[in-house]
Structure 1
Amino acid sequence: MPAGEPAGGPDPPGTRGSVGRRAFVVGAGAAAFTGAGTAAAAGAEPSGVAGAALAGTLPDFHPLLKDELRFPLAWGTSPIRDFRTWRRVARAKVEDHLLVARDDTPYDPEFDARRAEGDGYVRESVTFSLTRYGRVRGALLTPHGTGPFPAVLLLHDHGAKFDIGKEKLVLPWSDESRLASARAWADRYFSGRFVGDELARRGYVVLAVDALGWGDRGPVGYEEQQALASNLYNLGSSLAGLMAREDVRAAGFLAGLDRVDRRRVAALGFSMGAFRAWQTAALSDDIAAAASVCWMTGLKEVMVPGNNILRGQSSYYMLHPGLARHLDFPDVASIGAPKPMFFLNGGLDPLFPADGVRAAHDKLRAVWRSRHAEERLRLKTWPDLGHVFTAPLQDEVVDWFDSVL
């Protein structure tokens, strides 16, 4: 999701300031943010900063910055006319901006001998080398029966809730200390269901892993996200780039399991997990389809005063510095074309303005249409829903997976 909201809920305590225009001056004689240097030079009062003082700031010249964003590498705008060549060039451009190198470290998985039965499937933990930087523990669900099975890489949301990650989507069976928190999250956003367990019951192998900062790999504090991101930048790396690389690696691990039909691996996520799902589909050839629930917009339409993304913090998990000079969000997702992809948004979602969703959908539709594959793209807005992934939406996504995989 765009920033540190509890998946669309209220702000964490102390994070929202009063909305208004305010100049920030640091030290004697320091210059404020201004909208026009000529006005300042003429003695006019600086126009200040648009946005909430404690919730992120936009310089008042931000419309000029947005005007400079032309997304010249977007399909249809780029001078490249061969789609396969464009996909290769666009993917390389995204990878350049991840600031994290590709990784071919052997996964070297260790499967926990302790297994637990679910309703028609088996739960087990697997520890593997997600990158060269360390090993992680994932939740792996496998249906009863004879494989190989279709599979889903399940990507958790942000939500400003860090004590659980994979447990937001998969019932924690071996750590009761997280059970109450996980059930409360499922009740709040998923109609009381654990999405991963429902997928496994329906015949899918499911893998869920914590992103850096959550669950086994955290918890990070809400205010610490920005420091974590800046420290990685100082080390020549990137928080968002690391997460992108890790998700691609997780897709490769899942596709390589003997129990999985590697031609039928999908990515699914809600909120920040939705961003991760379409991003992974764009960057990984191991993902055959993707469903993204409540994360798609045009960049210009979401960068407006009052929007949650302006508060920073969790936006660093989705921020690839400089990439916006080349590609918009739907342009990156379009690298996945013509794979089957499903984008769902809530019409009452406060995080994504309706005009941003429409602009993104228009771009996506044009790309898939250009590939004569419009039937593989599904775009839907539920008018009476906000930032949630309720049971009816889950059923629709699983039915869609059944049809395309």
Structure 2
Amino acid sequence: MVPKTASTLTTENKQMQRAKLYQLLGRLPDRHRPITAKVVSREETDEIIMEKLLLDLNGLELASAYFTKPKTASGKIPVILFNHSHFGQYEVGKNEFVKGRQEMQSPPYALALARARYAGLCIDSWGFGERSNRPEVDIFKEMLWKGQVMWGMMVYDNLRALDYLETRPEVDTQRIATMGLSMGSTMAWWLAALDERIKVTVDLNCLTDFQALIEDKGLDRHGIYYYVPDLLNHFTTSGINALIAPRPHFGLAGSLDPLTPLKGLEKIDADLKKVYAAENASNAWKLKIYPVGHLETPEMRQDIMAFFKKWL
């Protein structure tokens, strides 16, 4: 089968393509199984309320999470599903959201979003944070034996996190966004491609064209979790991201970042410009390349918050 590209994908077959993309994610738990949430702790400051949660999203392993909102919030407010990064620092996980990390700007996004009047949610992915009791490669290998895909299980949990957000009385379910850096960036555009409940997408430093990465001999630059069996026989990076159109999507990349070869970024940009133009939404797609490596700069932070302000 020839991979779907941005130029061949039409509005009529988007649902079919989403179903195919989801199918490639391996044997997943029931998409509609009941989920439960337990509040482990609750903290308040003058600016933010932060709940630590324990979520049963998949029936296999509990996921610890943080839900945050502005201290003075009232009524329904927009929410950002924040996806944490990798960096080989398995103990960090969701703490990136509330405590930050050296590759990102201050304040941490939990506080930055609260100051902008947004709620936020971040869960520990498989193998990270309070779920880092087993090595990533062991999780990957065991899942492979069972017909599961590690990336698929990670995506599944975040899709169910969207289901959880719909149960929160303070969340405006018509104003849900997603974002992340590095692994979190990849998660953001996969989630938005699969689920139209996400109205705004921001991906930071990981909009990687698969073929350009192969040509650049860069497959070892991404963790083993990243690789989905049979994916390249059905989808290109542009083809997955085309499923987000016409919803607003902002990609940020560094010209010195080895995880996103420039040739690939240029191809994705050209493809998605055509897709968004065809859907009369040219101003909803934006790619900006900064003269930096794999990190967030003050300018990037400013541009991200401005994009949320405009579209969310």
1:264 is aligned, of 175, 192, 204, to 175
* Cα separation, 1, equivalents of 2:278 and 2:181: 28
Residues 356-396 of structure 1, C-alpha deviations (whole Å, 9 max, x = no match): 111111111111111111111111111x2111012321221
Amino acid in structure 2 at the alignment position of 1:353:
P
Amino acid in structure 2 at the alignment position of 1:150:
P
Give every structure 1 segment of 4 or more consecutive aligned residues whose post-TM-superposition deviation is greater than 4 Å: none
Could you tell me the TM-score, scaled by structure 2's length? Answer: 0.93
* Cα separation, 1, equivalents of 2:278 and 2:221: 37
1:205 equivalent in alignment to 2:119: yes
Q: Secondary structure at the match of 1:123?
A: strand
1:115 equivalent in alignment to 2:42: yes
Amino acid in structure 2 at the alignment position of 1:261:
D
User: How far off is 1:311 after superposition?
Assistant: 5.8
Over the residues paired in the alignment, what is the CA RMSD in angstroms? 1.8
Pairing 1:99-178 to 2, within 5 Å after superposition: 99-101=26-28, 102-112=30-40, 114-143=41-70, 144-171=72-99
Aligned to 2:184: 273
Q: Which runs of 5+ in 2 are unaligned?
A: none
Distance 1:76 1:404, change over 3 A: same
* Cα separation, 2, equivalents of 1:142 and 1:285: 23
Amino acid in structure 1 at the alignment position of 2:186:
F
Amino acid in structure 1 at the alignment position of 2:116:
R
Q: Secondary structure at the match of 2:295?
A: coil
Q: Secondary structure at the match of 1:378?
A: strand
Amino acid in structure 2 at the alignment position of 1:212:
W
1:396 is aligned, of 303, 306, 312, to 303
Amino acid in structure 1 at the alignment position of 2:147:
G
* Cα separation, 2, equivalents of 1:265 and 1:321: 30
1:372 equivalent in alignment to 2:280: yes
Alignment length, in residue pairs?
310
User: How far off is 1:284 after superposition?
Assistant: 1.4
User: How far off is 1:118 after superposition?
Assistant: 3.2
Residues 103-130 of structure 1, C-alpha deviations (whole Å, 9 max, x = no match): 2222222223x42223422111122211
Amino acid in structure 1 at the alignment position of 2:31:
D
User: How far off is 1:228 after superposition?
Assistant: 2.2
Aligned to 2:269: 361
Aligned to 1:251: 162
Aligned to 1:310: 220
Amino acid in structure 2 at the alignment position of 1:118:
T
Aligned to 2:194: 283
Residues 254 and 292, structure 2, Cα contact 8 Å, conserved in 1: yes
1:331 is aligned, of 239, 243, 253, to 239
Equivalent pairs: percent with the same residue? 25
Could you tell me the TM-score, scaled by structure 1's length? Answer: 0.73
Q: Which runs of 5+ in 1 are unaligned?
A: 1-68, 172-181
Q: Secondary structure at the match of 1:247?
A: helix
Amino acid in structure 2 at the alignment position of 1:253:
Y
Residues 194 and 243, structure 2, Cα contact 8 Å, conserved in 1: yes
Amino acid in structure 1 at the alignment position of 2:258:
P
Report which of the two structures shows the higher radius of gyration computed on alpha carbons: 1
1:218 is aligned, of 121, 128, 132, to 132
Amino acid in structure 1 at the alignment position of 2:61:
G
Residues 105 and 129, structure 1, Cα contact 8 Å, conserved in 2: no
2:209 is aligned, of 285, 291, 298, to 298
Residues 103 and 132, structure 1, Cα contact 8 Å, conserved in 2: no
* Cα separation, 1, equivalents of 2:295 and 2:182: 8
Amino acid in structure 2 at the alignment position of 1:226:
V
Aligned to 1:381: 289
* Cα separation, 2, equivalents of 1:296 and 1:259: 32
